[in-house]
Amino acid sequence: MQNMATELASTGDNPAHRPWRTHITLLLLALIYVFSFIDRNVIAIVLEPIKQEFGASDTMMGLISGLAFAILYGGLSLPLGRMADQGADRRNMISICCALWSLATMACGMVSQFWLLFLARMSVAVGEAGGMAPSVSMVSDLYPKERRSLAISVLMMGPHIGVLAAMVLGGWIAQEYGWRYVFIVFGAPGILLALLLRLIARDPGHGEQQATSTEDSTTKNSFIKQLFIISRIPGFLPISMAAAAAGMAGYAYGIWAPSFMVRTWDMSFAQAGLIFGLSSGILAAVGGLFSGLYCDRLTRTDSRWQVRLPLIGVLISIPFGLAFLLWPPENTISVAGYLLPQAVIFAALFSFFNSWWPTLTYAAISHITTPKQRATGAAILNLFITLFGAGLGPLTVGILSDQLATTYGDDSLKYALTYTTVVLLSLSVLFYKAAMPLYQKRMMELEE
């Protein structure tokens, strides 16, 4: 950890850039993102009891776990990202939004009807829309370019730690106290984190670590024109499409894997959450951190590694994802005296390699956009990942599972996940490959 702190240390006279405040700000933003991801995805561990209580189909559960969140999140993140780029205090934005989504998460545990849960999920999205893009922009200004992938990898540990906490603790809480308490328990800490960020952190200002002569003119563009300008940056669209395809597969996998384990492996909610959380969350956190640190070193000699490394990670993850879904559950290993399906090994390896693309993709977008385009650029990337990933990923698997039920019966979910994993991750690889030369061209333009 000392070496990591040394890698991340930045210099400067600005009080916002003092090492202690810089690192604490990064830590708070990372923790907020942890609970953001928990609040967004904890529904995965309680899909089955919610489905049973409200008599919903897999399609309906796919809708409420994904699209109900993604439409508002993706749409609102664009104007809120633009606000952050135009000078709004990003610390205040993140604090307010964190408090809002935390209260909305708690409300999910208090609903009495399915449509009220749908509205509460949409309210979570309203708050979270103002969290991620300003956070990426703020971290990018806290640390210099040569340390940015590592800094963003610390921030992007949020989803992986969130999976671990949501699955392990969420499964136990659901088993012992019911699914409603899961939302209440995980929603409350965000209110405290919002207050701490407001009291401790400082917005470092735009472009402290990197300035360009075109900033004043670009920020005066209209919102629509700015979106058009950013979308035309070489490499931006193929990178975003690669992330959209990988996100669609990743969200579908993350949301439905616990239900797959309950149905196919005959596990309880607590067992599925514990096994999936430990096998996936820990290795994903390690993989995300490793990829950021390793990428910072590789890109010193060739900028294309910023895109090549996520491509490699996605490609290697495909066979491990398939092995997790298709490996015979009766084949077991003994861990601390407990017999576990061997497939959990493949789940861990899938998570390690598949965790490379989020960290490195957000860092790539921060590199090819100017300081006052970063929040908007991150928001556009969020739109691709969330609308396609969180919105359509779980819904697609839910619909496919319902359609395959007549052919595969109880195994319909397994094959729905299998088909989507292969197709979507393969598409992601192709988009990353197309983005590499364009990304290198853009980096050369910025260095001139």
Residue extents of the structural domains in the chain: 15-203+219-447
pLDDT (0 to 100) of residue 413: 92
Amino acid at 276: F
Question: Is residue 315's pLDDT more than 90?
Answer: yes
Closest by CA to 131, choosing from 95, 87, 79, is 95
On average, the pLDDT of the chain sits at: 83
Write down the pLDDT at residue 221: 62
pLDDT(172) > 50: yes
What pLDDT is stored for residue 8 in this prediction? 54
CA neighbor of 105 nearest in space, from 136, 138, 131: 131
d(CA 341, CA 330): 7
Q: Mean per-residue pLDDT for 279-287?
A: 84
Give the pLDDT mean for 130-145.
81
CB 16 within 8 Å of CB 204: yes
On the question of pLDDT at 13 being above 50, the answer is no
d(CA 278, CA 398): 25
For residues 404 and 415, what is the distance between their CA atoms, to the nearest angstrom? 8
CATH superfamily ID and name for 15-203+219-447: MFS general substrate transporter like domains (1.20.1250.20)
Given a cut of 90, whether residue 417 has pLDDT beyond it is yes
Contacts of 147 (CB under 8 A, 6+ apart): 7, 8, 10, 296
Q: CA 163, CA 286: separation in Å to the nearest integer?
A: 13
Q: State pLDDT tens for residues 183-195.
A: 999 999 999 999 9
Whether 142 has a pLDDT exceeding 50, the answer reads: yes
Confidence tier at 217 by pLDDT (50, 70, 90)? very low
Q: What is the CB neighbour count within 10 angstroms for residue 198?
A: 17
Write down the pLDDT at residue 414: 93
The answer to whether residue 208 scores a pLDDT higher than 50 is: no
pTM of the entire predicted model: 0.74
Confidence of residue 206 (pLDDT cuts 50, 70, 90): low
